[in-house]
Structure 1
Amino acid sequence: MLSLPEGVNVDFKREVQAVRSSDLVAFANSPFGGTLLIGIDEFTTRDGVQRGRVVGCEVDDKARLTLVNKSTGCIPNIELRIFTENLAVSKPILRVEIASGPHKPYCTQRGEYAIRTDGRNRAMLPEELLAIFMEREGELFLSRFRKAVHQLEHQLGTVSHALSEGMLGVSERLFELDQQLQRTLSRIEQLTDSNKKRSRNLMQALRQSQAGIVQLENSIAPVINDQGQHLLQDIEHKLGMLLDLLDSDNNGSH
C-alpha cells in the first residue's frame, strides 16, 4: 500500500488528529471499504507520482481512543479494526481497517454523507442516497416478508393439526351423544311400561278403597250424623272422579 498512491481503498494521514469522521464515513459507504495508514507523510516523486513515506505517529491508548470516539460519533456507529505496524523500528504507524458497512448510508454527526472515490472523499449525490435507502428498505421488506410467511406457514400447520384433532373430538362426541340418546330412549320405554303398571295398580287400589268406603258408609250410616254422611259421600265422589281420570288416561295410552 505504501508503494502505491492514495486510491479508492487507501488513504494516508500524517497523525491521528488529521483523521476526520468523514474519512471513516466515506470508506464505510464504499462497496469494498478501505484502509487508513496513519503516520504516513505524502510526497511526490520526480516523475510526479504521489507516494507515502513513513514518519511514525503515536500508537498508544490515547490515539486508539481518539479513533474509536470518531467512529462511535458516526451515524450509525462504524466498526474499526486498529493494528500497530512497524514496531521493530523507531517509527510505528497505525493501520485502520474500515469494512464496507452493513447499515448504509453512514453520515457524520453534522449529517455529512460521503463516499470514497479515486483518491479522495466526496459528498454523496441524492440519487446515490436514494438507491442505498431503496436497497436497504427492500432487503428489510423481504426479510420481514419471509418471516411473516414462515410464521403464517407455522400457524397454518398448527391450525390444520388442531382442526384434525377437533374433528376427531367432535366425531367421538357425536358418537357418545348417540349412545346416550339410545340409553335415554330405552329408559323412557321402561319408565312408560312401569308407569302403566303403576297406574293399573293404583286404579285397582282405588277401586278397592271405594268399595270399602261404600261398605263403611252402609255399616255406620245409622249411627253417624249428617256431617259425617256428607264427608263420606264427598270422599266417595272424589275417588270416583280419580278413577274416571285414570280410565281415560289408560284408554288414551292404548
Structure 2
Amino acid sequence: MVAGFDGSAQNNAAAYWAAQEADLRAVSLRLIHVQEPSALGHVFGAPDSPDRRSAQHLLVQTADELRRTFPALDISVRSVDGRPIDVLSESAADSDMIVLGSRALGPVMGFVLGSVSMAVIGATNCPVVSVRAKDNASYGDLVVGVDVRQHCEALLRFGFDEAEQRGCGIRFLSAWALPPLVGYGAAYDPRVHAQLEMSAKATLDDVLMPWKKRYPDVRTTAQANVGHAATQLVASGREAGLTVVGRRVRDSSLGTHIGPVAHARCSRTGPGSPP
C-alpha cells in the first residue's frame, strides 16, 4: 500500500488511515514524499536544503509514530525528486491501494479534489482513497454506488472484500431517473413511479445476488432511488466508514476526467475509494 506524504494535516490523516488499513490487510505501507522542482529554475532543491531536511524529518517522525501505534506493520519511507503525479502514479502500479490527502473546506463543502489527486485517479488502475484531515479512520458500514448499466465487477469485488475484512455491512445505492413524459407536472403518474422504482430495485438485487451468495457473512441493504447519483452518494457518505464509487476515465484537451459521480463523491465527502 502507498500513501503520499507532504507533512500537511490532510496527509497526516491519510498516512494514519493508510496505516490502519494496511495493518488490517496485513500488507506493508510505503510513505512517499515527492520533492518538486522549483517553479522558476525547474531544478530540484539541494539534498541538504532546509526544506528537504524538514520534509525528511517529518517523514521519518510520522513513520516512527505509526510504528508505535501499529507495531506489527512494516513501514518504509521514500523521499524522491520528481513531480507528484508521475511519482505517485508509478508507485501505485505495483500497489493494491494508494491513499492521498484532500484539501478540507469545512463541514458543508467537505473537501475538494486537488489536481494531483485527480491526475493520480485518472492514471492508476488500483483503488484510490481520499482522506480529509477531520476524518477519523472508521470501520463503519460502507456505502457503494452502483450503476447497473455499467460493468461493475471490480467495484463490487472491492466493496465486498473490504466489508468482509472490516467486519461491517454495505449499503448499496443505485440512482435512476423518471422518463420526461411521466416525471413533471400534470403528466406525473405515481403508479408509473412505483412500477419504475420496483423495476430498478429488482435490477439492483439481480446484480448483487451472486455477490451476496459469495459473501454470505456480509450484511447488505440496497436502495434504488430516483434522483442524481452524485447528490445521493454525497449525502449518504457523510456517515459512512468508506464510500466506494466507480470511475470512467476520459482524456480530453482540457485534461483527465474521472466521471461526474466519482468527481462529486471525491470532491465533497470523505474518505472515498474509486476502484
Same fold per superposition (TM over 0.5) = no
Shorter-chain TM-score: what band? under 0.3
Structure number having the greater strand percentage? 2
Q: TM-score, normalised by structure 1?
A: 0.24
Q: TM-score, normalised by structure 2?
A: 0.22
Larger relative contact order (C-alpha < 8 A, sep ≥ 6)? 2
Q: Which has the larger radius of gyration?
A: 1
